[in-house]
Amino acid sequence: MKKALITGITGQDGSYLAELLLEKDYEVHGIVRRHSTSCTDRIDHLLNDKSNEDRLFLHYGDLTDSSNLHRLITEIKPDEVYNLAAQSHVAVSFEVPEYTAEATGVGTVKLLEAIRQSGLPIKFYQASTSELFGGIPGTAPQSEKTPFYPKSPYGAAKLYSFWITKNYRESYEMFACNGILFNHESPRRGENFVTRKITLAVGKIMAGKQEKLSLGNLDAKRDWGFAGDYVEGMWLMLQQDKPDDYVLATNETHTVREFVELAFKEVDVDIEWRGTGVDEKGYCKKTGKLLVDVDPQYFRPAEVKLLWGDSNKAETALGWRRKTSFRDLVKMMVRSDLKIAGIK
């Protein structure tokens, strides 16, 4: 039985990856931070499943605590380590830049050092990101060959993690891979990322629990896929003969505005846009009710305008391809949030 250690197991991707690895008969270990309330909502279904009793284990820890990482690596002796833990919110990284550097950047080298010093033949996956590209005009679609230009403290911290992962691979012949993943979403997406914020609002507005949805930049373009598809790509990277870096993306891009339109369309509401910039507003075409407006508090000090991936390399080398379409992703998220809002 193979053993995997997942940092960030309580997050969106951690939960889908844990599911996948348990299905593949791995013994799965996860690092969790101490919270004043429970933080295991996304994996409670796995923890409550009796068949996982002797193959799913949680350990307290933190990427900023290297002594803890050393102890866990030497005690667990995993075959594979997936480093998914991070302060992962781009806008929040402007508010907590130092902490983001510590957890999202330096945390990676702490984990790599723990692995290196253990002397164990551990395969390592680093959760790298399309935020490394920064959406510089003329560079899309972005592939492994596109130059990096991060535009946030988060992106800069992930840039360090990308290079230190590559550096440990080249310096110490470690099996270390970067998955450069474009945005991936799901009903388990954190509530303050734009897709989930939109689908939650659709559910609450339909249930009469929210008046309208306030957003930032409606023109931002993202390459949005389904998280469940992407964790399969992470696993595939560690099953190859040689370590390498790969982009995972849908090869499509859509604006935030399009996501809003499609999400409301799922509940038979057509949006009519009026005005521009901060004065842009979205109304229900049929009733004229205001449903969406723009609030400058959601603008970022620097914005990545266009992310559009090219996952050709992963498709050819790993045989990976996204399975879920953009439309099906929006539908899946809206349906789940309608249920949460009390509507079937």
Contacting residues toward ligand GDR, per CB under 6 A: 88, 90-91, 129-131, 182-183, 192-195, 197, 215-217, 220, 222, 256, 298, 300, 303
Which contiguous run of DSSP H or E holds residue 71?
A: helix 66-76
215 binds, among ligand NDP, ligand GDR, none (CB under 5 to 8 A by kind): ligand GDR
Among 108, 129, 217, 324, indicate the residue that binds ligand NDP (CB under 6 A): 129
**Residue 199: closest CA among 260, 255, 280:** 260
Write the CB contacts of 100 (distance below 8 Å, at least 6 apart in sequence): 87, 92, 93, 153, 154, 157
Q: What's the rounded Cα separation, in Å, for the pair 59 and 39?
A: 13
Among 69, 81, 86, 333, indicate the residue that binds ligand NDP (CB under 6 A): 86
100 binds, among ligand NDP, ligand GDR, none (CB under 5 to 8 A by kind): none
Task: Let me know if 98 is exposed, middle or buried by CB neighbors in 10 A (0-12, 13-18, 19+).
Answer: exposed
Least distance (Å) between residue 117 CB and ligand NDP: 19
CB-closest chain residue to ligand GDR: 220
300 binds, among ligand GDR, ligand NDP, none (CB under 5 to 8 A by kind): ligand GDR
> Residue 168 or residue 182: which is nearer to ligand NDP going by CB?
182
> Residue 33 or residue 89: which is nearer to ligand GDR going by CB?
89
Least distance (Å) between residue 275 CB and ligand NDP: 30
> Residue 192 or residue 275: which is nearer to ligand NDP going by CB?
192
Write the CB contacts of 170 (distance below 8 Å, at least 6 apart in sequence): none
Among 85, 202, 262, 333, indicate the residue that binds ligand NDP (CB under 6 A): 85
Among 27, 28, 56, 62, indicate the residue that binds ligand NDP (CB under 6 A): 62
- Return contacts of 285-290, CB within 8 angstroms, 24+ apart: 290/212
Torsion of CA 120, 122, 126, 127, to 10 degrees: -130
14 binds, among ligand GDR, ligand NDP, none (CB under 5 to 8 A by kind): ligand NDP
**Residue 182: closest CA among 143, 153, 216:** 143
Among 4, 5, 8, 236, indicate the residue that binds ligand NDP (CB under 6 A): 8
Residue 41's identity, in one-letter code, is D
For residue 112, state whether it binds ligand NDP (rule: CB under 6 A): no
Computed from CA positions of residues 309, 312, 313, 319, in that sequence, does the dihedral angle turn out positive or negative? positive
Any idea what the Cα angle at residue 107 is, between residues 18 and 318, rounded to 5°? 45
> Residue 260 or residue 269: which is nearer to ligand GDR going by CB?
260
How many of the chain's residues bind ligand NDP (CB under 6 A)?
26
4 phi and psi, to 5 degrees? Answer: -125, 145
For residue 11, state whether it binds ligand NDP (rule: CB under 6 A): yes
Q: What is the DSSP letter of 142?
A: B
Least distance (Å) between residue 165 CB and ligand NDP: 12
Q: Is the backbone of residue 67 left (phi > 0), alpha (psi -120 to 50) or beta?
A: alpha
For residue 63, state whether it binds ligand NDP (rule: CB under 6 A): yes
User: Six-digit token pair at 62?
Assistant: 């933190």
- Binding residues among 304-333 for ligand NDP as defined by CB under 6 A: none
> Residue 64 or residue 68: which is nearer to ligand GDR going by CB?
64
Q: What's the rounded Cα separation, in Å, for the pair 259 and 270?
A: 12
User: Six-digit token pair at 291?
Assistant: 């449903």
33 binds, among ligand NDP, ligand GDR, none (CB under 5 to 8 A by kind): ligand NDP
For residue 142, state whether it binds ligand NDP (rule: CB under 6 A): no
Catalytic residue numbers read: 129, 131, 154
